[in-house]
Chain A
Amino acid sequence: MSTEEKKPTNPIEPLLRMERMPHIWCPGCGIGTTVNCFARALEDTKTDLDKTALVSGIGCTGRVAGYLKLDSFHTTHGRPIPFATGLKLANPKLNVVVYSGDGDLFAIGGNHFIHAARRNIDILVICVNNYTYGMTGGQLTPTTPYSAIASTAPYGNFEKTFNLPYLAESCGAAFVARWTSYHVRQTAKCMAEALGKKGFRFIEIISPCPTLYQRRNKLGDGLAFMKYLKENSVRKDDAQTKDVGLDFQGEITVGKFVDREMPTFLDDMNRRLSETMGDKYEKYEGIKTKI
């Protein structure tokens, strides 16, 4: 028997920039769990990692791009979707994934989400929704549930809350799902499925923020929130997205809500230009001009 001590390793280490560990996320935070799911989804689908680009905005989830060993971009607050749009349209052969938080994607970046979904840009958008701006200290976001305390809503939130799957579907997304960071297997499976599809795909992952959201709302630690996610999540794949809005500590509808095939922006562009320009048009498959 070998006396050499085996160091425990994480099976997804080859996908991580280990030289950047430890990461910045707090104990009990769910973002790292979702990254684990994503790495497994990439492995399970045998996605060509050299042809996969990851784009993040700013915030705690915005740091994901910095930890995955892919061509990865940490951009500006709210703008990962237009950056990703540029990548995908210039080189449609790339798999382009946007990975960011609820504040980044739906407050400052909300307009870009709407239009990328409307155009059916062929990208996967993963939103870790922890109901708060973690990086800046726990302020109100468009997804903070009614009555929840935030540092900028010290008397409790009185704004209406965004129902993200409903928004995504109504803007034209091809694939819409929601899971939580408790549901690691389901999340990884859902990500794998979405990686294999075309069009604008959106996955919301409800995730704990023990340091800033839970502490202020007296909801216990990371584990307590995991228990809440476990006990209150109800899978309804056929749910109408209009019915899946979230309340403070209420039931969470999870599952795959939308899965539809629709022509992407590039499909539409190629079809239209072929129709109007005829033989003069050469199908666009990316920019080939030598630079």
Chain B
Amino acid sequence: MTNKMITADPKGVLTGSHYLDGDHACCEGALAAGCRFVAGYPITPSTEVVERFSARCPQVGGMFIQMEDEIASSIAIYGGVWAGAKAMTVTSGPGFSLMMEHIGLGVMLETPCVFVNVQRGGPSTGLPTLPGQADMMQARWGSHGDYEIIALSPNSPQEAFDLTIEAFNLSEQYRVPVMMMLDECVGHMTEKVIIPKAEEIKIYPRRFTKAKPGEYLPYKPGPDMVPDLVKVGDGHRFHITGLTHDERGYPVMNHICQDQLVRRLMDKINKNADKITHLEEDGTEGAECVVVSYGITSRIAARAIDMARAEGLKVGHIQCKVVWPFPAKRILELVPKVKSFVMPEMNMGQVVLELERIVKGQAQVSLVPHAGGMVHEPEVILQAIKQSLK
């Protein structure tokens, strides 16, 4: 059963018009969403998120701890969540790699929380101070085993604020760690950010069980496939484990339990994909070519589309604010109507693989790759649009 939305706790909402970079806006989004527990480790270009949180948290009754590494940070937040807080951790490239095991644990324990990754160029130490979008597949598949994840990608400080709230809401609704995939460009660009009044911010409250102690089953799913939560100290004396487990949370080492659990963990995301999808569309009706983009690249794409339209081309734009799950339904609606899809990414071709899989050769799909370190030139995307319509 889905919960009724409530309004934000005014204590964490810095209502007003601000001039913030994306990292700071992301921190304010988390505070507005009710996040009061952050564990992190410094890494460029994400450090400003935790720096701001460390300054803000004593003002709002929150807890910040700088842990000894990203591995510790990414599991300390689960302690925070199971003790009854909303929690997040923040990192970039190499730190994100260190967190992978715990993303899997978060999926397995169905722990609602947010992982922020301000992407930089990789692999390895790569380009610490320059942007990339090359962690998108890692966000989806990085931990071992089968699972589905939710990932959002903002294109501005305002979206960093808005989508961080959305990330927390989705994590609570589906009980899954949600990835906030910024990039160095959005993280460090400073723009106007409007923070609304607390009563205008909608929050999905944690779905605590109504079961009495002794009756609670930690992994008995509701009709939406999502189980209810508890917190430590409420007398339920529950047990949870990263091992394959039954509804009681007890380990069961056989293929039947594995099948039931893994299917549910995937279905609760996949079967709700249409509800989770969040797109911004522009001129897709009647378009011959649709540009599909996310994050900072969507702003470069918008410029390229303007240039194409000035030349008389019918070009539409889909910006995926939620990248995972990928908006398959909407793409499939467009497939018979368009000649081509163009996908610029600040990587050598990651999310485009999903687009190609869905389009199944029924329209042309053109990748506009970029190894990172700098955003695309709009002319390169324009060229790809023109080429795809030839």
> Are A and B genuine complex partners?
yes
* Interface set of A (CB-CB < 8 Å, partner B): 17, 19-20, 49-51, 53, 55, 65-66, 69-76, 79, 82-91, 93-94, 111-112, 114-115, 273, 277, 280-282, 284, 286-291
Residues of B within 8 A of A (CB): 9, 11-12, 34, 36-37, 39, 58-63, 65, 67-69, 71-73, 75-87, 101-102, 105, 172, 205-206, 213, 231-243, 250-251
A76 to B77, CA, bound (A): 14
Instruction: Select which of B34, B39, B58 is within 8 A of A86 by beta carbon.
Output: B39
Hey, which chain A residues are within 8 Å of B12, CB to CB?
Answer: 289
B243: contacting residue among A74, A83, A284, A290, CB under 8 A: A74
Note all chain A residues with C-beta closer than 8 A to B231.
91
What are 21 A-to-B residue pairs whose CB atoms are below 8 Å? A50-B213, A73-B240, A73-B241, A74-B243, A75-B242, A79-B72, A85-B72, A86-B76, A86-B77, A86-B81, A87-B83, A89-B65, A89-B80, A90-B37, A90-B84, A90-B87, A91-B232, A112-B72, A289-B36, A289-B85, A291-B172
A176 CB to nearest chain B CB (Å):
20
- B72 touching A50, Cβ below 8 Å: no
* CB-CB nearest 3 A-B residue pairs: A86-B79, A90-B83, A74-B241
Q: Are A90 and B63 in contact (CB under 8 A)?
A: yes
Q: Within the assembled complex, what's the spacing in Å between the Cα atoms of A51 and B232?
A: 7
CB pair A87 B58 closer than 8 Å? no
Contact A50 B233 (CB under 8 A): yes
A53 touches B232 (CB 8 A): yes
**Docked complex Cα distance between A55 and B62 (Å):** 23
CB distance from B82 to the nearest CB of A (A): 6
Contacts between chains A and B (CB distance < 8 A), count: 165
Q: Is the interface of B mostly helix, strand, loop or mixed?
A: mixed
| A17 contact set on B, CB distance < 8 A | 239, 250
Residue of B59, B76, B86 near A291 (CB, 8 A) is: B86
Q: Check A86 against B232 for contact (C-beta < 8 Å).
A: no
Contact A50:B234 (CB < 8 A) given known A72-B239, A89-B63: yes
Q: Are B242 and A74 in contact (CB under 8 A)?
A: yes
Assuming A94-B233, A287-B36, A291-B34, is B83 touching A282 (CB within 8 A)?
no
Out of B34, B63, B76, B250, which one reaches A83, CB within 8 Å? B76
Q: Shortest beta-carbon distance, A130 to chain B, in Å? A: 21
B33 CB to closest chain A CB, in angstroms?
Answer: 9
In the complex with contacts A82-B67, A273-B58, A71-B237 CB distance below 8 A: yes
> In whole Å, how far is B231's beta carbon from the nearest beta carbon of chain A?
8
User: Nearest chain-A residue to B60 (Cβ)?
Assistant: A289
Q: In the bound complex, how far is the Cα of B230 from the Cα of A50, in angstroms?
A: 13
**8 Å CB contact of B237 from A49, A74, A291:** A49
Report the Cα distance A88→B76, complex, angstroms. Answer: 10
Residues of A within 8 A of B105 (CB): 75-76
Q: How far is the CA of A260 from the CA of B86 in the complex (A)?
A: 34
Which residues from B are CB-within-8-Å of A74? 239-243, 251
Task: Report Cα–Cα, A165/B23, bound state, in Å.
Answer: 42
Contacts of B34 in A (CB 8 A): 289-291
For residue B204, which residue of chain A has the nearest CB?
Answer: A291
- In the complex, which residues of chain A have a beta carbon less than 8 angstroms from the beta carbon of B243? 74
Query: Given that A66-B241, A90-B37, A287-B36 are known contacts, is A20 also in contact with B250, CB under 8 Å in the complex?
Result: yes
Q: CB-CB < 8 A to A50: which residues of B?
A: 213, 233-235, 237
Q: Which residues of B contact A70 (CB under 8 A)?
A: 237
Q: List residues of chain A with CB within 8 A of the CB of B61.
A: 282, 284, 287-289
Task: Give 19 new A-B contacts, CB below 8 A, not counting A76-B102, A90-B81, A90-B85.
Answer: A19-B250, A50-B213, A66-B251, A74-B243, A74-B251, A75-B242, A76-B242, A79-B71, A82-B67, A83-B75, A86-B81, A89-B63, A111-B72, A284-B58, A287-B61, A287-B62, A287-B63, A289-B34, A289-B61
Inter-chain contact B59/A280, CB cutoff 8 Å:
yes
Residue of A nearest to B104 (CB): A76
Given contacts A20-B250, A89-B63, contact A83 B237 (CB under 8 A): no
CB neighbours of B240 from chain A (8 A): 72-74
What's the least CB distance linking A77 to chain B, in Å?
8
Q: Kindly report which residue of chain A lies nearest to residue B63, judged by CB atoms.
A: A89
A93 to B83, CA, bound (A): 10
CB pair A76–B239 under 8 Å, yes or no, is no
Query: Known: A87-B82, A91-B233. Contact between A115 and B37, CB under 8 A?
Result: no
- Report A205 CB to chain B, min CB distance, Å: 22
Q: Please give, as numbers and ranges, the residues of chain B lying within 8 Å of A90 by CB-CB distance.
A: 37, 63, 79-81, 83-85, 87
Q: Does B237 lie within 8 Å of A284, measured CB to CB?
A: no
Q: Which of A72, A83, A282, A289 contacts B79 (CB 8 A)?
A: A83
Contact B250 A287 (CB under 8 A): no
CB atoms of B39 and A66 under 8 A apart: no
Cβ–Cβ < 8 Å partners of B59 in chain A: 280
Decide: B68 and A112 in contact? CB cutoff 8 A. Answer: yes
Question: Do B80 and A86 touch (CB < 8 A)?
Answer: yes
- CB <8 Å contact, B233 and A82: no
Q: How far is the CA of A87 from the CA of B231 in the complex (A)?
A: 10
Q: How far is the CA of A286 from the CA of B75 in the complex (A)?
A: 18
- Knowing A76-B101, A89-B65, say if A82 contacts B237 (CB, 8 Å): no
Nearest CB of B to A112, in Å: 6
Do B36 and A94 touch across chains, with their CB atoms under 8 A apart?
no
The docked-state distance in angstroms from the alpha carbon of A110 to that of B242 is 21
Known contacts A72-B239, A74-B240, A88-B79; decide if A51 and B85 are in contact (CB<8 Å).
no
Residue among A69, A281, A287 with most chain B CB within 10 A? A287
Write the chain B residue with the least CB distance to A24. Answer: B251
Would you call B75 and A76 a contact (CB within 8 A)?
yes
In the complex, residue of chain B having the shortest beta-carbon distance to the beta carbon of A290: B9
- Which of B79, B86, B213, B243 has the largest number of chain A CB atoms within 10 A? B79
The answer for the CA separation of A93 and B77 in the assembled complex, in Å, is 17
Query: Considering only CB atoms, which chain B residue lies closest to A80 in the complex?
Result: B75
Contact A65 B239, CB 8 Å, known A85-B65, A277-B58, A284-B63: yes
